[in-house]
């Protein structure tokens, strides 16, 4: 009888908490009275394969005498290591998303430099989460979250320029340890038996927590290439936000975007179902998951990708530097050089070049630079024939503008190609050891530049980008195979099919920056966003590397696909559990994404 009384009492308390949440029209947060009781969580624990996690900002180890377990020296030495960061559920690759700003302007944060004198707080890091290792873990956590009306965030590595993996008071589902990988010489999508020509070959299936260095190595072991995100330490997740946003890659102009190479997903929806989505079943969900926005339709537990025969690539490297006394505007030779590169971008794209040009307009040493690393699958002879004219132009420009604008010195530091090599060698030797923006406070603005714009008004493009500060990434990951795909074949923004370049810029700030200066930096990001929108009206932006300040997020991130994506979301997420910044359906929620509007 006593046990029955306690059970009834618990149900009454639960009903009261849920009634409060429904009345307030808001999600239940860890700071609210409706937050589940210890008994509730104890019941959930019996359904999980791992103990709960209690995420904390890793820098908390540097705040004695009450510092939690942790090693401050380890924090200081590894702060800028994206692989180390990814292993911590309480850390984002851009730490500004760990902070929380109260309405009175107070910032709660935990800085790695404890000597700055700021207290260490939890910020936007959730206080509790599930270390998901199996789909069943995710199902139990989702059912619990729906029952208790919790705000849910999903995190793998924390590579997120929109802060979607953190939310103050939320319940975290950490998928980082779902590391299953399997390779299939032949692969029949679920539900395709009996369908002619359904069997696929050379498919790699990866779990939700697999990072690109792991996926690459598994593909290389089969002498295959896979379209992925070349990043420092290969630390970006290969089955999460990257593919949810469409997934750009230096290999995309050759083989298509990540969204074009995904052949099957498994996903847990807010109803607790573990579904398999492909062209043969739940094809509408399959369509949406290929670029319709990560963290929106459910929690992906695996993705199966088409792999490709390993190819040889010619690598072109270039770097030119202007030492200038003018720090307020681009120097004349840099402007001429970059304008010429923009002019020939369609030509370079048509001739197989793809990669990552970078324009730096301000530096501590008053240097302005333009540099790139590009790849090409053509023969060395053919590749040189298409890139050498630009190298010749740059050398000629350097020879004739050795002293302009009161002493500016223009130097071509590097211009040349490397004999054909396998992509794996480029990725392992050049990309993985490269620099990372991990550990840096940053917000980003970006835009997809259509081919027609580059052909018709390359001067305007160059002038607009040169007016941004302090740096611009001119990322050549579209065109080629990307442009040959039917725009309506996947949920990704159709603007990708018309674009040749993804441009991105932004603002960074150091730890301890006053709120007024942070606000000013964000205002500059807003200005960059508007300038890029005006440069390419009617285009769009890459959802994973973009601004929170777009004037029309639905059009910018999803284009003409938005209404279809919204219908699919309502079908598979009837509880509206998966709400992320600027994602499909987010317009129905307030700025905090905690309460319906």
Q: Which residues of 569-593 are buried (b: 16+ CB within 10 A; e: fewer)?
A: beebbeebbbbbbbbbbbeebeeeb
Q: Taking the CB of residue 248, how many other CB atoms lie within 10 A of it?
A: 26
pLDDT computed for residue 7 by the predictor: 40
What φ, ψ does residue 397 adopt, rounded to 5°? Answer: -65, -40
485 phi-psi bin (left φ>0, alpha ψ -120 to 50, beta other): beta
pLDDT for res 321: 93
Q: CATH code for 181-309?
A: 3.30.465.10
> Residue 66 has what pLDDT?
62
Q: How far apart are CA 285 and CA 51, in angstroms?
A: 32
Four-residue CA torsion sign, 49, 50, 54, 58: negative
pLDDT tier for residue 361 given thresholds of 50, 70 and 90: confident
Does the pLDDT at position 359 exceed 90? yes
pLDDT tens, 108-140?
Answer: 999 999 999 999 999 999 999 999 999 999 999
What was the pLDDT predicted at 364? Answer: 65
Per-residue pLDDT band for 434 (boundaries 50, 70, 90) equals confident
Q: What is the mean pLDDT of residues 559-566?
A: 98
The domain ranges of the chain are 2-174, 181-309, 312-554
What is this structure's pTM?
Answer: 0.94
Q: Which one has a higher pLDDT value, 356 or 15? A: 356
Is the pLDDT at 18 greater than 70? The verdict is no
Is residue 589 within 8 Å of 579, Cβ to Cβ?
yes
Q: Give yes or no for residue 68 having a pLDDT over 90.
A: no
User: Of 95-99, 361-365, 517-521, which gets the smallest average pLDDT?
Assistant: 361-365
Percentage of residues in the chain having pLDDT higher than 70:
93
Looking at residue 67, what is its pLDDT?
A: 64
pLDDT of 20: 46
- Rounded distance between C-alpha atoms, residue 217 and residue 214, angstroms: 5
pLDDT at 211: 98
What is the spatial distance between Cα 130 and Cα 594, in angstroms, rounded to a whole number? Answer: 20
Asked whether residue 194 carries a pLDDT value surpassing 60, the answer given is yes
Please, are residues 226 and 216 in contact by the beta-carbon 8 Å criterion? yes
The answer to whether residue 240 scores a pLDDT higher than 80 is yes
Is residue 325 scored above 80 in pLDDT?
Answer: no
Find the range with the poorest average confidence among 3-17, 118-132, 460-474: 3-17
Question: What does the pLDDT read at residue 21?
Answer: 47
For the segment 376-397, what is each residue's pLDDT rounded down to a tens digit? Answer: 999 999 999 999 999 999 999 9
Query: For position 509, what pLDDT does the model report?
Result: 96
Local confidence band at 407 (pLDDT 50, 70, 90 cut-offs)? low
For residue 24, what pLDDT is reported?
Answer: 64
- Residue 435's Cβ-count burial label (10 Å; 0-12, 13-18, 19+) is exposed
Per-residue confidence (pLDDT) for residue 177, from 0 to 100: 98
Phi then psi dihedrals of residue 504, to 5 deg: -140, 140
Name the pLDDT band for 406 (thresholds 50, 70, 90): low
**Residues in Cβ contact with 295 at an 8 Å cutoff, skipping those fewer than 6 apart:** 153, 154, 164, 241, 244, 578, 580, 583
pLDDT of residue 275: 98
For residue 445, give the H/E element and its range.
strand 441-450
* CA 293-297-300 angle, 5° bins: 90
Provide mean pLDDT across the span 162-175. 97
Three-class secondary structure of residue 200 per DSSP: strand
E runs forming strands in 158-199: 171-174, 181-187
CA distances from 537 to 344, 453, 552, 561 (A): 22, 10, 11, 17
Judged against a pLDDT cut of 60, whether residue 16 lies above it is answered with no
| Token duo for residue 194 | 């009996």
Please identify which residue in the block is written with the tokens 């692969």: 187
- C-alpha–C-alpha distance, residues 263 and 485, integer Å: 15
pLDDT at 271 over 60: yes
Query: What CATH class is the domain 312-554?
Result: alpha beta
Q: Please tell me the predicted confidence (pLDDT) of residue 362.
A: 75
Q: What is the pLDDT of residue 114?
A: 92
User: What pLDDT score was predicted for residue 332?
Assistant: 87
pLDDT band at 435 (very low <50, low <70, confident <90, very high): confident
Question: What's the token pair of residue 5?
Answer: 């009384």
| CA gap 222, 218 in Å, rounded | 7
């Amino acid at each position: 009888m006593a046990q029955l009384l306690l059970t009834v009492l618990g149900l009454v308390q639960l009903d009261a908490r849920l009634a409060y949440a429904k009345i307030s029209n808001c999600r239940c947060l860890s700071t609210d009275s409706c937050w589940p009781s210890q008994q509730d969580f104890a019941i959930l624990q019996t359904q999980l394969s791992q103990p709960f996690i209690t995420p904390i900002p890793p820098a908390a180890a540097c705040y004695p005498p009450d510092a939690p377990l942790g090693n401050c020296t380890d924090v200081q030495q590894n702060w800028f290591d994206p692989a180390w960061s990814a292993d911590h559920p309480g850390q984002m690759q851009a730490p500004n998303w760990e902070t929380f700003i109260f309405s009175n302007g107070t910032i709660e944060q935990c800085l790695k430099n404890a000597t700055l004198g700021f207290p260490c707080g939890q910020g936007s890091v959730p206080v509790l989460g599930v270390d998901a290792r199996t789909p069943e873990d995710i199902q139990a956590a989702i059912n619990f979250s729906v029952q208790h009306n919790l705000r849910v965030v999903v995190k793998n590595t924390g590579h997120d320029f929109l802060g979607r993996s953190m939310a103050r008071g939320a319940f975290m589902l950490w998928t980082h340890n779902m590391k299953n990988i399997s390779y299939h010489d032949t692969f029949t999508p679920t539900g395709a038996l009996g369908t002619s020509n359904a069997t696929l070959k050379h498919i790699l299936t990866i779990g939700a927590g697999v990072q690109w260095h792991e996926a690459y190595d598994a593909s290389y072991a089969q002498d295959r290439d896979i379209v992925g995100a070349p990043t420092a330490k290969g630390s970006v997740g290969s089955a999460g936000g990257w593919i949810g946003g469409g997934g750009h890659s230096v290999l995309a102009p050759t083989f298509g975007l990540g969204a074009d190479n995904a052949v099957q997903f498994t996903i847990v929806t807010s109803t607790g179902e573990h579904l398999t989505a492909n062209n043969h079943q739940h094809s509408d969900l399959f369509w949406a998951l290929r670029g319709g926005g990560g963290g929106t339709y459910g929690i992906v537990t695996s993705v199966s990708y088409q792999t490709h025969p390993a190819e040889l690539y010619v690598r072109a490297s270039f770097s030119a530097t202007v030492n200038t006394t003018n720090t307020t505007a681009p120097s004349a030779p840099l402007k001429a050089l970059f304008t010429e590169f923009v002019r020939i971008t369609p030509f370079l794209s048509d001739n197989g070049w793809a990669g990552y040009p970078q324009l730096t307009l301000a530096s501590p040493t008053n240097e302005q630079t333009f540099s790139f690393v590009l790849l090409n699958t053509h023969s060395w002879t053919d590749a040189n024939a298409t890139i050498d004219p630009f190298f010749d132009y740059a050398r000629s420009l350097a020879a004739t503008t050795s002293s302009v604008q009161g002493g500016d010195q223009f130097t071509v530091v590097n211009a040349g190609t490397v004999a054909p090599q396998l992509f794996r060698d480029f990725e392992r030797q050049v990309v993985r050891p490269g620099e990372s923006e991990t550990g840096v406070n940053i917000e980003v603005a970006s835009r997809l530049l259509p081919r027609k714009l580059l052909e018709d008004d390359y001067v305007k493009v160059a002038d607009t980008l040169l007016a941004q500060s302090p740096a611009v990434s001119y990322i050549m990951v579209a065109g080629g195979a990307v442009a040959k795909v039917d725009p309506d074949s996947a949920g990704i923004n159709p603007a990708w099919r018309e674009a040749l370049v993804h441009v991105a810029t932004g603002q960074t700030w150091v730890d301890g920056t006053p709120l007024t200066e942070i606000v000013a930096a964000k205002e500059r990001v807003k200005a960059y966003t508007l300038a890029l929108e005006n440069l390419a009206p009617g285009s769009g932006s890459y959802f994973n590397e973009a601004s929170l300040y777009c004037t029309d997020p639905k059009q910018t991130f999803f284009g003409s696909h938005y209404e279809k994506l919204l219908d699919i979301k309502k079908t598979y997420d009837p509880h509206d559990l998966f709400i992320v910044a600027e994602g499909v359906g987010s317009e129905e929620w307030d700025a905090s994404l905690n309460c319906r509007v």
